[in-house]
Chains A and B, each alone.
Chain A
Amino acid sequence: MSIHLIKPSNRKTTAPKTLVSRDCGPAGCEIDWLTSRRVAADDDIEAFTSFSLEQGWGDGLPLIPPTDARVRMILSENDRYPDELIARMPDSSECTVEKIVINAVMAGAPADSLELIIAAIEAIAEPDFELYGVNATTAPVYPGFIVNGPIRDALHIPYSDGCAGGVATRANAIGRAIRLIMRNVAGQVAGVTTQTTFGSPGRLGGLLMGEWEEKSPWAPLAERRAGIVGNAVTAFSTMGTMNILDTTSSGAHAFLEMIGKSVSYAGANCYSPSMEYAEMTIGINPICADIIAKELPTIEDVQEILWNCAAVPADWFQALHRDQLAAQGRIRSDGRVYATPEPKDMILFVCGGLGGLHALGLHSFGSSLAQTRQIATATPASAVQAAE
């Protein structure tokens, strides 16, 4: 038996950083640093939304026309050069600050969310996130994001009631901006560059939530994963959101058993023969986290128990499935197949309302490994210019 352990690689994206002037503000500048093609469109939201669909730019929801002035406004409130290359996407297309800002404008994302969006794009462009497979697959997978640090409140990123969707906040526009970048730059277009059989609501507005650090008995996720204290974003792939109800359990072990058994089912991607490993992201509500932590003080203990429960007996699988799993060495000496190679691959964070009673299962694609990035602090270009 040879279990394939998840060992992150040393590969990093090596996008070159080019530099130009930052003299462009909302009023424009003598030299035009914005290099995107200009296209004539009607100055009307409804007409522009229809136009964007004709152009293959849109997602069907209303869009704000990305005029020069709007794009320059966001640039002026940040400290980024428009032609700075942030990442190369799966087909080697260049994701520059300019393209990010144009899509952010269209989605209605606030100017002060730019550094979060950039960090999110950097995270999913890392080779280990395996965006190539995430984009192309028949699965409904999409990148989800967990935000840590004070930026959660500054950008109204939800981490309590309804954090996985439905809260009225402009953070939804940030999630949508990332989705538009996925569509317009990373090339995730259903039926064209992605073969997703069913898709997901998350492919429209994204999944952007915070960790309720103040209610967590453990260190913040980004600190545990990458030693980052403060503003950070963790990108993970998810097949959607799965709810796990438990109104009955009493005690840490009982809750964890219920969660572990629930996320581990035969048709989950973690048992796909195409990939020999997977991670599993799980949101634990603050009430449950508190109960668990009273019995299990370290997060490693929690991961260990959860991991032991997130497995299924090999004989639950039909022969053809079982044969493939056996050939990959995934059936362990106890006769079970585990959802993830090791306890560390259970990625846990605290979120959700104080009503408790539910956990949030976020199944990964498999080969796509979660990435955590620090979020830079933006200094408005106008302040930089004044200082100079």
Chain B
Amino acid sequence: MALIKVLDPTARRMDDDASPGPDAGALAGKRIGFRLDQIWRCWDWISESWAEKMRNAGAEVSFWRSTNRSGEEGEAQNQSLQAWLATIDIAVVGLANCGSCTGWTIRDAIAAANAGVATTAIATRNFEDFAHELAARGGRSGLRVHVLPYPLNELSREEVDPVAQAYFAGLLEVMGGSLTAEEKAA
């Protein structure tokens, strides 16, 4: 059979920053921002729990909620996100728990990482690989991703709270964060 030359039909961005970005370091005195959405109540509960621990460790915590990403509201959202990123040192970005919300979680996490903020994206188990794939395609293959169990949003508050407790130490590890002895005691 004769050989021919064919042209590659694919295109993909070639640049990549494999760095995970800066470590979060000691939490005391840091400004920590949680990126929320409006679909996953479990993520609201977990972020509340983690935020309380971080406040107890001496951090200042703020929240930014992603809503609509098209039209004038989308335009305003982008501006609001950029303004918020300028006010924080550490970003905890979630929740990658579906297709489009993983997409927007990773997109916003990359925006945070590219702004020089110590950033960790939060994904549930079934969207972990997808989160890494999108991070690589977004030019940040080294993006930090902390993984929670799946399914999660289907659970009650009483079932989700222990998950928040159990996965906090893992969050600190992934984000390169640390607590002083006093903070741990608190």
The answer to whether A and B belong to the same complex is yes
What is the interface of chain A, defined by CB distance below 8 A to chain B? 4, 6-11, 34, 36-44, 47-48, 55-57, 65-68, 71, 89-96, 98-99, 102-103, 106, 127-130, 132-139, 180, 184-185, 187, 192-196, 272-277, 324, 327-328, 367-369
Total number of B residues with any Cβ neighbor in A under 8 Å:
40
Contacts of B10 in A (CB 8 A): 56-57, 99, 184-185
Query: B133 to A367, Cβ gap below 8 A?
Result: no
Question: A129-B70, A130-B74 provided; 18 other pairs, C-beta below 8 A?
Answer: A9-B72, A36-B9, A39-B8, A47-B1, A65-B6, A71-B7, A132-B100, A132-B103, A133-B69, A136-B102, A137-B100, A184-B10, A193-B130, A196-B99, A273-B38, A274-B38, A274-B39, A324-B38
Least distance between A65 CB and chain B CB atoms (Å): 5
How far is B7's CA from A103's CA once the two chains are assembled, in angstroms?
10
Verify if B89 is at the interface (C-beta below 8 Å from A).
no
Least distance between B180 CB and chain A CB atoms (Å): 38
Query: B70 to A9, Cβ gap below 8 A?
Result: yes
Least distance between B32 CB and chain A CB atoms (Å): 25
Least distance between B79 CB and chain A CB atoms (Å): 11
Query: B98 to A137, Cβ gap below 8 A?
Result: yes
Query: A6 to B71, Cβ gap below 8 A?
Result: yes
B72's nearest neighbour on chain A, judged by CB, is A7
How far is B75's CA from A134's CA once the two chains are assembled, in angstroms?
18
What is the interface of chain B, defined by CB distance below 8 A to chain A? 1-13, 37-39, 67-75, 98-104, 107, 127, 130, 133-134, 137-139
B139's nearest neighbour on chain A, judged by CB, is A92
A134's nearest neighbour on chain B, judged by CB, is B100
How far is B13's CA from A192's CA once the two chains are assembled, in angstroms?
16
Query: B99 to A369, Cβ gap below 8 A?
Result: no
Query: A276 to B68, Cβ gap below 8 A?
Result: yes
Least distance between A100 CB and chain B CB atoms (Å): 9
Query: A41 to B4, Cβ gap below 8 A?
Result: yes
Max chain A CB contacts within 10 Å: which of B4, B5, B39, B73? B4
Least distance between A239 CB and chain B CB atoms (Å): 13
Contacts of A91 in B (CB 8 A): 12-13, 134, 137-139
Query: A11 to B4, Cβ gap below 8 A?
Result: no
A274's nearest neighbour on chain B, judged by CB, is B39
Least distance between B144 CB and chain A CB atoms (Å): 19
Query: A102 to B70, Cβ gap below 8 A?
Result: no
Contacts of A9 in B (CB 8 A): 70-72, 74-75
Contacts of B71 in A (CB 8 A): 6-9, 128, 369
Query: Which secondary structure dominates chain A's binding surface?
Result: loop
Least distance between B113 CB and chain A CB atoms (Å): 15
Query: B70 to A128, Cβ gap below 8 A?
Result: yes
Query: A40 to B134, Cβ gap below 8 A?
Result: no
How far is B8's CA from A47's CA once the two chains are assembled, in angstroms?
16
How far is B7's CA from A146's CA once the two chains are assembled, in angstroms?
30
Query: B99 to A138, Cβ gap below 8 A?
Result: yes
How far is B104's CA from A44's CA once the two chains are assembled, in angstroms?
42
How far is B6's CA from A68's CA once the two chains are assembled, in angstroms?
7
How far is B11's CA from A36's CA once the two chains are assembled, in angstroms?
9
Contacts of B68 in A (CB 8 A): 4, 275-277, 367
Contacts of B5 in A (CB 8 A): 38-41, 67-68
Partner of B100, one of A11, A96, A136: A136
Query: A36 to B98, Cβ gap below 8 A?
Result: no
Partner of B6, one of A6, A41, A192, A272: A41
Query: B99 to A136, Cβ gap below 8 A?
Result: yes
Least distance between B68 CB and chain A CB atoms (Å): 6
Contacts of B13 in A (CB 8 A): 91-94
How far is B163's CA from A248's CA once the two chains are assembled, in angstroms?
55
How far is B134's CA from A304's CA once the two chains are assembled, in angstroms?
41
How far is B68's CA from A274's CA once the two chains are assembled, in angstroms?
8
Query: B70 to A193, Cβ gap below 8 A?
Result: no
B67's nearest neighbour on chain A, judged by CB, is A276
A9-B72, A275-B68 given; A99·B9 CB < 8 A: yes
Least distance between A21 CB and chain B CB atoms (Å): 18
Query: A41 to B3, Cβ gap below 8 A?
Result: yes
Least distance between A271 CB and chain B CB atoms (Å): 12
How far is B70's CA from A127's CA once the two chains are assembled, in angstroms?
7
Contacts of A94 in B (CB 8 A): 11, 13
Least distance between A379 CB and chain B CB atoms (Å): 24
How far is B96's CA from A195's CA once the two chains are assembled, in angstroms?
12
Query: A139 to B99, Cβ gap below 8 A?
Result: yes
Contacts of B75 in A (CB 8 A): 9-11, 127
Contacts of A95 in B (CB 8 A): 11
Contacts of A98 in B (CB 8 A): 7
Contacts of A66 in B (CB 8 A): 6-7, 9
